[in-house]
Amino acid sequence: MLAIQDLNKKFGAFEAVKDVSIYVPAGAFLVLLGPSGCGKTTLLRMLAGLELPSGGEIIFDNQKVSDGDENWSVDPAKRNSGLVFQSYALWPHMSVRGNVEWPLKIMRMSGEERAKRVEDTLKLLDIFELADRYPNEISGGQQQRVAIARTIAPKPSIMLFDEPLSNLDAKLRVEMRTELMRLHHATGATTVYVTHDQIEAMTMATHVAVMNKGVVQQFGSPQDLVDRPETAFVATFVGTPPNNLIPVLKNGTGYMMAGCDILIKPPERNCMAMYKAESLQISSQETSTSIPMQLVELSTIAGRTMVTGLKDGLRLTAIVDTSPRIKIGEVAHFVLPKEPDGWFGQNGARVG
């Protein structure tokens, strides 16, 4: 349904998106995940037709809609796609009904059909009782529902979301995630969703593209990213909490981590060892495979305890069943298993 081939976007000498290639089937929920400035919104704007690619192609349902090499792009209104902005972008002088009906008028849909489509869409979003109110008379969460209703009313084959939940409070974000997933299943539209929130990505997506500095670091299912991160960036960006990365340095005939001699043999010189938070244990006593750290944080997550330690700029996090009898500021020994959960080279790529 959606094919992105060798896509690039430059602003002068700055490369915002570099050689991105992604393919997803019809009905997929693709999340573009990454930190601010990584290029995910620029990529979404190219999908929407608001930016012309500097190179590469975008294909919707076997129809090319942008060609950066040939310097042309199909008009946004002719792509059979809908875009939900981060700022909602509702027309303040129109009622909720008017906002949702407007794109249907542009399509020259008959009045009877428009009225039925608007009613069905408002009921689907559970905002039918707000039909005659204006944007300044409803809450932020309700405004977001109106923006989504306006987008899905024309029944686009591709729906694009630019961080639509970032302006909502934490409780409402959780509720709207559930609502968006329900709508995705109800409409069957292929969805592309931009966020920097990896919890949103992990709970909503069928496919995730993790981006950093304009490059897709890894593309796959949420489970793929958690089970086998392919780069050091993905390893430390995805997961709750994310994985721990510890530099392993040559020390005479052996190796050391965080200033401690460790009986371990990396696959190549000067690697980084990855440990999942649940692979680490906490002890009040030093062991042959432990690293002493200052305890800086204790918090409860789903009945377990997240323990965070700090030493010379290195931060480690463990998930344990029982909270350690160690106070904040005291020394906790983070006990490593015999083998790490993964290895990464100095360039950040997975090795071994």
CA distance 336 to 281: 7
Please, are residues 324 and 332 in contact by the beta-carbon 8 Å criterion?
A: yes
Class of domain 2-236: alpha beta
State residue 182's pLDDT score: 86
Average pLDDT over residues 186-201: 91
DSSP helix, strand, coil percent of the chain (3-state; round to 5): 25, 35, 35
CA distance to 31, 74, 144, 155, 300, per residue, from 83 (Å): 14, 15, 12, 12, 38
Q: Kindly indicate the confidence band of residue 100, based on its pLDDT and cuts at 50, 70 and 90.
A: very high
Rounded to whole angstroms, the maximal C-alpha distance in the chain is 82
Pair type for strands 55-60 and 254-257: unpaired
Whether residue 340 is predicted with pLDDT greater than 90 in this model: the reply is yes
State residue 337's pLDDT score: 92
CA distance to 119, 126, 142, 280, per residue, from 130 (Å): 11, 9, 9, 52
Instruction: Check residue 132 and report its DSSP letter.
Output: T
Q: Which residues pair with 245 in a beta bridge?
A: 274
State residue 216's pLDDT score: 97
Q: Which residues pair with 254 in a beta bridge?
A: 251
CA distance 57 to 340: 40
Q: Kindly indicate the confidence band of residue 286, based on its pLDDT and cuts at 50, 70 and 90.
A: confident
Instruction: Give the per-residue SS3 of 305-343.
Output: EEEEEEECCEEEEEEECCCCCCCCCCEEEEECCCCCCEE
CA distance 125 to 157: 18
CA distance 301 to 282: 16
Higher pLDDT, 270 or 230: 230
CA distance to 121, 142, 145, 192, 216, per residue, from 102 (Å): 13, 18, 16, 23, 36
Residue range 223-239, pLDDT digits in tens: 999 999 999 999 999 98
Q: Which fold has domain 241-351?
A: OB fold (Dihydrolipoamide Acetyltransferase, E2P) (2.40.50)
- 292-313 exposure pattern, b = at least 16 Cβ within 10 A, e = fewer: ebebeebeeeeebbbbbbebee
Q: Report angle CA 221, 224, 226 to the nearest 5 degrees.
A: 115
Q: Kindly indicate the confidence band of residue 161, based on its pLDDT and cuts at 50, 70 and 90.
A: very high
State residue 324's pLDDT score: 87
- Sequence-distant (6+) residues with CB within 8 A of 171 are none
State residue 92's pLDDT score: 92
Whether residue 23 is predicted with pLDDT greater than 90 in this model: the reply is yes
Instruction: Check residue 351 and report its DSSP letter.
Output: E
Q: What is the mean pLDDT of the chain?
A: 91
State residue 207's pLDDT score: 96
CA distance 39 to 138: 33
Task: Please compute Rg for the chain using Cα positions.
Answer: 24
Dig out the tokens for 255 from the structure. Answer: 């190796």
The domain limits of the chain are: 2-236, 241-351
CA distance 339 to 343: 10
Residue range 126-153, pLDDT digits in tens: 899 999 999 999 988 889 889 989 988 8
- 175-184 exposure pattern, b = at least 16 Cβ within 10 A, e = fewer: ebbebbeebb
Residue type, 168: L
How many Cβ atoms from other residues are within 10 Å of residue 130's Cβ?
Answer: 21
Comparing 5-9, 173-177, 197-201, the range with the smallest average pLDDT is 173-177
Q: Report angle CA 25, 212, 175 to the nearest 5 degrees.
A: 60
Whether residue 167 is predicted with pLDDT greater than 80 in this model: the reply is no
Dig out the tokens for 23 from the structure. Answer: 């393919």
